[in-house]
């Protein structure tokens, strides 16, 4: 059977592209190396009826009504508001940094209208380069050295296995700091978890008569026989180009699941451990969907240098390689025969809604809405 489009990867980017193309009348083949769909947002129910996120916690949040409306065609969402605690110096602090965090750390009692001034004084008493030259400078320039040292310095060392002074300042753009008592991790208008899980959501997106899915298949081994008018690639960009510009460096995770004979184990769905222990954070999965069980399953995250690629390492060397690959990808996209979409193919630290939006926009450039 001939196909109009071949999609490499059945994650969120691949599924979105496949659905949009199929609804425009295209015959689409999705090729996925794993034996499951949904990519890194894949989930499943364990023996205790608890929904486990296979590749670590995923919480959907967006201000993009178009993305929200698109996904709501395929799932209902449980309106979950994500809250995180950070364990430091033997105490649990609300995170991200807000007025309550500051009051607890510094043993003061300031109001929300005093947060900005308090942080300004902390920053003024700190040493950093301006404009920020790296991740450390970028964080210290926002919150000062005390809060940086408590919540960010060692967490970054564990996460990236590098001195924070070697990491890009752009990484600090993802760190929210609030001059309020809002302790939600995200402040987006739309937030939630698919009520039947991410896997069922992606399966629903792919459920279309114009879409065929091939699991456990490596596109790199099959591509000679899979010529099509359009190829949408969502995998590792450097591998697509046979590593000709050098190998991009990614960080992986060792995710260790432990089940406890108790209904709840921790006070928040996610607890960060910036300084203590070998893991970076612990997730209690049943909190996401409000599942009921006499047991609870936790996920302990240990950053690793090898394994499934999760995050591109934000260094100058990686940025230079990425730029070279993206230039080559742009040239192929200009031909009208290729689209590079998603975290891995665009080498971008995307949230899930950004993956969907980027894919929607790129497919739209091919005349598909």
Average pLDDT of the chain to the nearest whole number: 96
CA-nearest of 288, 310, 315 to 299 is 288
The whole-number pLDDT of residue 143 equals 96
**What mean pLDDT do residues 267-285 have?**
98
What is the mean predicted confidence (pLDDT) over 15-42? 98
What's residue 75's pLDDT?
98
What is the enclosing helix (H) or strand (E) of 45?
strand 43-45
Specify whether the CB–CB gap between 271 and 211 falls below 8 A.
Answer: no
Average pLDDT over residues 91-108: 97
**Tokens 């698919």 found at:** 194
CATH of domain 5-57+195-248+313-364: 3.40.50.720
Q: How far apart are CA 151 and CA 360, in angstroms?
A: 36
The mean pLDDT of 53-80, rounded to a whole number, is 98
Q: Is 154 a residue whose pLDDT tops 90?
A: yes
What is the rounded distance in angstroms from the CA atom of residue 347 to the CA atom of residue 168?
14
By the 8 A CB rule, do 219 and 8 touch? yes
Q: What is the mean pLDDT of residues 68-89?
A: 97
Both structure tokens of 111: 């109001």
Q: Given this model, what pLDDT does residue 369 score?
A: 67
pTM across the whole model: 0.95
Q: Tokens 């069922």, residue? A: 200
Question: What's the CA gap between 287 and 339, in Å, rounded?
Answer: 37
- 234 CB contacts (<8 Å, ≥6 apart)? 7, 8, 9, 11, 13, 14, 17, 39, 340, 341, 342, 344, 345
Domain ranges of the chain: 5-57+195-248+313-364, 97-174
Q: What is the pLDDT of residues 157-178, one digit of tens each?
A: 999 999 999 999 998 887 788 9
What confidence tier does 182 reach under pLDDT thresholds 50, 70, 90?
very high
């Amino acid at each position: 059977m001939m196909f109009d489009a071949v999609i490499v990867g059945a994650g969120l980017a691949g599924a979105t592209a496949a659905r949009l193309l199929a609804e425009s009348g295209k015959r689409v083949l999705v090729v996925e190396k794993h034996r499951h769909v949904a990519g890194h947002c894949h989930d499943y129910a364990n023996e205790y009826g608890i929904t486990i996120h296979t590749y670590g916690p995923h919480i959907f949040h967006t201000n993009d009504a178009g993305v929200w409306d698109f996904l709501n065609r395929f799932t209902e969402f449980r309106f979950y508001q994500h809250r995180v605690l950070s364990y430091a110096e033997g105490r649990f602090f609300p995170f991200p940094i807000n007025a309550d965090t500051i009051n607890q750390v510094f043993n003061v009692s300031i109001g929300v209208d005093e947060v900005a001034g308090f942080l300004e004084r902390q920053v003024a008493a700190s040493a950093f380069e301006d404009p920020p030259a790296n991740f450390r400078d970028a964080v210290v320039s926002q919150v000062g050295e005390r809060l940086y040292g408590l919540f960010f310095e060692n967490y970054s060392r564990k996460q990236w296995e590098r001195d924070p002074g070697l990491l890009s300042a752009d990484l600090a753009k993802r760190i929210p700091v609030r001059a309020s008592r809002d302790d939600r991790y995200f402040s987006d208008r739309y937030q939630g978890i698919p009520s039947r899980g991410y896997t069922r959501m992606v399966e629903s997106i792919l459920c279309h008569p114009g879409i065929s899915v091939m699991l456990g298949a490596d596109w790199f081994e099959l591509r000679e026989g899979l010529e099509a008018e359009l190829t949408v690639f969502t995998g590792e960009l450097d591998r697509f180009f046979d590593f000709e510009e050098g190998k991009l460096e990614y960080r992986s995770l060792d995710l260790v699941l432990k089940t406890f004979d108790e209904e709840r184990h921790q006070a928040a769905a996610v607890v960060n451990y910036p300084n203590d222990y070998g893991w970076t954070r612990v997730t209690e999965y049943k909190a996401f969907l409000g599942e009921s069980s006499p047991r609870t399953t936790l996920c302990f995250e240990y950053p690793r240098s090898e394994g499934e690629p999760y995050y591109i390492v934000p260094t100058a060397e990686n940025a230079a390689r990425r730029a070279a690959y993206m230039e080559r990808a742009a040239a192929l996209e200009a031909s009208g025969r290729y689209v590079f979409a998603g975290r891995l193919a665009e080498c971008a630290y995307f949230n899930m809604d950004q993956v969907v939006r980027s894919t929607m926009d790129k497919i739209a450039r091919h005349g598909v809405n």
